[in-house]
Amino acid sequence: MDRGMVGNASRGRLQVEVRRHGVSSVVSPTGELDHHTAEVLREPLEACVREGDARVVVDCSGLDFCDSTGLNVLLGARLKAEAAGGAIHLAAMTPVVARVFEITGAGAVFTLHDTLDAALAD
């Protein structure tokens, strides 16, 4: 993925856009994040970490659904980012996605932001 270009990936019910915003990469998944679509998000998240992005913001505002496989993709990306000295931030969760993080307690291990603007300003 060219760091100066917008990247896109899709598989059926999930599309992912990646763009640069200052020192951050913004990864925007849209649709349903589940067992069948998890790789569509995993690949660009891992590419951002491999490319040395210190901060990756996942804009969750377009996610309609997230199951345990999707949650594991985000948790795995967080571990890889932290091992590389970076971080994964989550922004603008829809209520249905926020509920998954609340039930599992996974929200406690991420930096969460109410809006994408707040995540980018932080």
pLDDT digits (tens, 9 = 90+) for 92-109: 999 999 999 999 999 999
For residues 22 and 32, the model is more confident at 32
Contact 55, 25 (CB under 8 A): yes
Main-chain dihedrals φ then ψ at residue 58, nearest 5 degrees: -100, 115
34, with CB counted inside 10 A (0-12, 13-18, 19+), is: middle
pTM given for the model: 0.89
Tell me what the mean pLDDT of segment 32-49 comes to. 95
Could you tell me the pLDDT band of residue 1, with boundaries at 50, 70 and 90? very low
Tell me what the mean pLDDT of segment 15-32 comes to. 95
Tally of CB atoms within 10 A around 21: 12
pLDDT over 70 for what percent of the chain? 90
Greatest distance between any 2 Cα atoms in the chain: 37
> What element of type H or E holds 120?
helix 116-121
Could you tell me the pLDDT band of residue 23, with boundaries at 50, 70 and 90? confident
Tokens representing residue 122 in the block: 């932080």
The average confidence (pLDDT) of the chain is 91
Contact 87, 30 (CB under 8 A): no
Q: What's the rounded Cα separation, in Å, for the pair 8 and 6? A: 7
